[in-house]
């Protein structure tokens, strides 16, 4: 459970950093691209193995990291489009509800356990994510022509989690967890750099040191969120259909509470109800996991 807790805390810090981006007018795209290289460096610092760049492309998990690198950039871009066209709440719901994809993947492909407690907990977790993410009284409204964007964010986020689960289960050795995680960020950073180069060619690129600082602040917790999630997935007795729902609903709950404490965000009654349901869902899922073991 300690790795799962660290993943939740890391992801919640990411939320705080993103909120500070708005306050200090940091270019989010540039900061995210710089963050990938900081996350890559963080992995190298904690990796006990000597770095051998020639070895990485020969690893069985390497093609998967290329896919994940592209997905990281693509989902970020789609999330930005969704925010512009439908609002932040839509992005929050689409991203967190995508937990249903890796959960179903774990249950049907890996024959992970089900039961009344666990299924009830998962359904409550999805409900909690929805209620906690809606920050407007009118709820969610999406025009039909914009529906494709949150759907792509939903499937993209779900595919990222599912691919991480598949790769860590099938190809990643225990000693390679840090290197595997670092490689994903390195590839995403390389792809992101190509975007900046393209902007430079078009003379639309404006670099700023504060964007680099933002990338540094984001990079360390971003690496931790993925690294500790992989370690949680590798923990004996912890199924992915347990890890993903608890991880997602705990991130939403913690981020919401941090928003209240640090940024004086206002909460609707449905948000408080969502937090209450989130706590119940975590208890049910954790109890089901404990009972199965």
- Whether 221 and 11 have beta carbons less than 8 Å apart is answered as yes
Q: Check if the beta carbon of residue 69 is closer than 8 Å to that of residue 191.
A: yes
* Angstrom distances, CA of residue 121 to CA of 70, 100, 107, 109, 230: 32, 12, 14, 20, 22
Contacts of residue 269, Cβ cutoff 8 Å, sequence gap at least 6: none
Report, in angstroms and rounded to the nearest whole number, the Rg of the chain calculated over CA atoms.
19
Report the number of secondary-structure helices (H) and strands (E) in the chain.
11, 0
pLDDT in 10s for each residue of the chain, 293 residues: 899 999 999 999 998 998 898 889 899 889 999 999 999 999 999 988 888 888 899 999 999 999 999 999 999 888 878 877 776 677 788 888 899 999 999 998 888 888 888 999 999 999 998 888 877 665 555 667 778 888 999 999 999 999 999 999 999 998 899 999 999 999 999 999 999 999 899 888 888 999 999 999 999 999 999 999 999 999 887 899 999 999 999 998 898 888 889 888 888 888 899 999 999 999 999 888 666 65
Nearest C-alpha neighbor of 244 from the set 158, 152, 147: 158
Supply the DSSP symbol for 136: S
Among 210, 250, 209, residue whose Cα is nearest residue 228 = 250
Of 290, 274, 264, 59, the closest CA to residue 168 belongs to 59
Global pTM? 0.90
Rounded Cα–Cα distance for residues 73 and 70 (Å): 5
């Amino acid at each position: 459970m300690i790795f799962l807790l660290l993943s939740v805390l890391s992801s919640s810090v990411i939320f705080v950093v993103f909120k500070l981006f708005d306050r200090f007018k940091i270019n989010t795209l540039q900061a995210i691209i710089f963050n990938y290289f900081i996350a890559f460096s963080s992995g190298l610092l904690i990796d006990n193995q000597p770095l051998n760049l020639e070895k990485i492309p020969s690893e069985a998990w390497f093609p998967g990291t290329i896919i994940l690198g592209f997905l990281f950039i693509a989902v970020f871009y789609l999330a930005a489009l969704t925010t512009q066209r439908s609002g932040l709440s839509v992005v929050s719901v689409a991203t967190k509800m995508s937990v249903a994809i890796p959960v179903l993947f774990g249950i049907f492909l890996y024959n992970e356990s089900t039961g009344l407690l666990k299924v009830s907990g998962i359904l409550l977790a999805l409900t909690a994510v929805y209620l906690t993410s809606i920050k407007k009284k009118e709820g969610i409204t999406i025009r039909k022509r914009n529906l494709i964007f949150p759907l792509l964010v939903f499937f993209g986020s779900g595919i990222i989690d599912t691919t991480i689960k598949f790769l860590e289960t099938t190809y990643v050795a225990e000693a390679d967890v840090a290197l595997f995680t670092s490689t994903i960020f390195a590839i995403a950073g390389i792809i992101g750099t190509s975007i900046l180069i393209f902007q430079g060619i078009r003379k639309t690129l404006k670099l700023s040191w504060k964007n680099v600082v933002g990338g540094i602040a984001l990079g360390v917790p971003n690496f931790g969120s993925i690294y500790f999630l992989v370690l949680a997935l590798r923990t004996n007795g912890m199924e992915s259909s347990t890890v993903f729902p608890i991880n997602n609903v705990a991130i939403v709950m913690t981020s919401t509470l941090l928003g209240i404490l640090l940024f004086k965000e206002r909460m609707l009654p449905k948000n408080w109800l969502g937090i209450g349901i989130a706590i119940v869902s975590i208890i049910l899922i954790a109890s089901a996991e404990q009972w199965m073991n």
